[in-house]
Structure formats: C-alpha cells, structure tokens
Structure 1
Amino acid sequence: MHELIEKDRALLVFLNNLGNVGSDPFWLLITGKWIWIPLYIIFLYLLFKTYKPKSLIFIVVFIALGITFTDQIAGVFKYGIARLRPCHDEELIPQLRMITCGGKYGFFSSHAANSFFIATFLSILLAKKYRWLPMGVFIWASFISYSRVYLGVHFPLDIIFGALVGFLSGGLFAEFTKIVLRKQQVI
C-alpha cells in the first residue's frame, strides 16, 4: 500500500507540474460549481424533451438523491480514511506548481463522484435519443475531475475512486429511476 501511495504522490507532482500560468484560469473556471448551471439547464431541457412532465419529477428527485448519496459517502470516506489533501502535506507542497485547497481530507473526490454520477445517470436515461451525449458528458466529467489534480486539490487515486463511485451510483440510481417510471407508468 505504501508503494501505491508513493506512486500516487509522484503522479500528482507530474500532472500538477504539466500546467502553466496561461492555462490556470481555464482550470480554475472548470472546477467551479456555478459555471455549469447553463449546462445543467440544458440537461434538464433534454430530459424534458425525452420524458413526460410527470416523469421529470421522479427523475429530478433521483438525481438529487444520487448526488446527495455520492456527496455524503465521500464525506464518510474522507473522515474515515483521513488522507490529507496535497495542500496539507508539508513535504509535498514545495514540489507542486499550483495548489488550491479544500477541507483537510481528500479521499475521495466529491467533484469526481458527482460529475461521474451525472454523466452515468444521464447517459443511461438519454443515450437512446441522444447518441452523442454519453461521450460528451464523460469528457465533461473527466475535465472536472482532472481539474482537481491540476489545482493540487486531490491525488489521482482520489479522482479515480471518486469517478468509480460516481459511475456505479449513477448506474444504480438510473436503474432505480427506470423501475419507478415503469411502475408509475409515466415513461
């Protein structure tokens, strides 16, 4: 395990140092929450165009429950595992080009979990009508996730594990949603 953690640290230093001053504003923008509101409105519009209005209520509830789930489980892991974020690791700080900071602990990334949850959930519910959507939303989720490494907020393993949790929970909640929609006969 110690060797894996050391490789994770080395990969963070490598990826973080790939950046430059010119691209810093882009990655700071990507990692922000509010910048994505127009995209979320587009997602809602696509759901509206695909499903009946009664279905949307169930879909939005399951999205809210799923994001709450991934966010809360990330909090449990962060405090249960208690792995310091790179910005709290005094030995690592001098090796990083750019550091922003969140809370004290970082395993696993809520940003990665939430964005991969949304990507998976929407892909399952919308891919039949919008074949291009899965590739687009997974690229979007990957950009958000990578921004966390670029900014020195998370280690790569924090991102990978968060993306995996988001992917699995997105699939699970999408399947629950489809079951409820069929039972309520609102598809």
Structure 2
Amino acid sequence: MDWLIQLDGGALLWIQEFVRSDLLTPIVSFYTKLGDAGLMWIVLSLGMLFFKKTRKAGAAGILALILGALCTNVVLKHLVARPRPWLTVEGLFHLVVENDPNSFPSGHTCAAFAAASAWARALPKKWMGVTAVILAALMGLSRLYVGVHFPSDVLVGMAIGLICGWLAWKLLGRLLRLRENRGKRNVL
C-alpha cells in the first residue's frame, strides 16, 4: 500500500505545483463547495420532479443520492477512517475547509456520479446525460484540485456513485412496475 500512498500524495503535489492558478482557484473552490452535503445534486434532482419529462430522472437521482450517502458517509468513511491528504502529505495545502476528518471515499464525488448516472439513464435527451456526467467528473477533479481528497478517494467515490446510480434506476423501475401492477388489479 505504500506505493499507492506515494502515488496519491505525489499526484496531489503535482496538481498543487503545476495546475493550481490564481484564475482557477476561486472558480474551482466555489464549484466544489456546491457539492457540500450533495446540495447541488439534491436541488437539481428536486427541480426535475416538477417536470413530467424529467420526473423519473429526479426520483432516480434522489434515490441514488440516498444510497450513495449511506455507502460513503455513513459506512465507509467511518470504517476506513483515512485522514485527509493535507494531514499526511508534507507540503500539501488545502484550499477549502473540510470538517469531516475522514477522506476515503469522496462523498462529493460519489454524490455527483450517483445523481449523474441515474439522470443519464432517465433524462429525455442524450446531451443532458452527457452534461451530467461531465459535471460529475468536474466535481471529482475539483476535490483533487482543492487538496481535500486523494485520487484513490475520488476513484472509489466515482465507482460507488456509478453503482448507486445504476441500482437506483433499477429499484425505481421495479417500484414503478409494482405501482402499475397494483393499479391494474384495483381496476379489475
């Protein structure tokens, strides 16, 4: 595991040295804070519930966010208890305040990919799903840029988010079929 720790820390130091800039820092810091507590993804999912064409996407997004939060923030972060990168990588400076001392996996990235992958299956236009996945990827990258997650935290957060989005879509489909079948039985 030492090689992973070296690789993770080295990648963050490289980002700090060669990618961070005075122009990008306020933009990326603002964007990453939009993901606090899944806020951006929750608001967008709730907004989709108001429109018939996007209602399934919104419902799948909410369900995916709940599943993702349970996996990452309720279970894995406390089980693994990996400290934040700035606490272990010498010379790394974080750009935003994170009150949770646990780093693994990235809850922001999980929430982003959970919602985006659920939306991508349900939104009426392909470009909408592609945009959602791009926004999710940018959220994961923002967590590296601001120095609050290791690359492996982000990759595992992404994987969990993708699984939760898929699972939410499957569960929603099953719930809708059950509801539909109940309605047919009540008519007879």
Report TM bin, short chain: 0.7 to 0.9
Output aligned runs, 1:1-187, within 5 Å. 1-17=1-17, 18-33=19-34, 36=40, 40=44, 44=48, 48-50=51-53, 56=55, 62-75=60-73, 76-89=75-88, 92-94=89-91, 96=92, 98-102=94-98, 103-126=100-123, 129-185=124-180
Bigger shift: residues 58-67 or 22-31:
58-67
Read off the aligned partner of 1:24 and give its amino acid letter: T
- Runs of 4+ aligned residues of structure 1 deviating over 4 Å after TM superposition are 58-62
Q: In 2 relative to 1, CA 163–38 (structure 1 residues): closer, same or farther, beyond 3 Å? A: closer
Q: In 2 relative to 1, CA 43–139 (structure 1 residues): closer, same or farther, beyond 3 Å? A: farther
Bigger shift: residues 72-81 or 158-167:
72-81
Gaps spanning 5+ residues in structure 2: where?
184-188
RMSD of aligned residue pairs (Cα, Å): 2.7
Tell me how far apart the structure 1 counterparts of residues 41 and 105 of structure 2 sit (CA, whole Å): 24
Contact persistence 1:87–1:100 (CA under 8 A): no
Q: TM-score, normalised on structure 1?
A: 0.81
Q: Deviations over 1:54-76 (max 9, x none)?
A: xx4x8656543431221122122
SS at match of 2:95: coil
Q: Deviations over 1:112-148 (max 9, x none)?
A: 000000001011112xx20112211110001111111
Q: In 2 relative to 1, CA 38–88 (structure 1 residues): closer, same or farther, beyond 3 Å? A: closer
Give 1:80 shift. 1.1
Q: TM-score, normalised on structure 2?
A: 0.81
Bigger shift: residues 21-30 or 157-166:
21-30
Equivalent residues, number: 175
Percent of aligned pairs with the same amino acid: 23
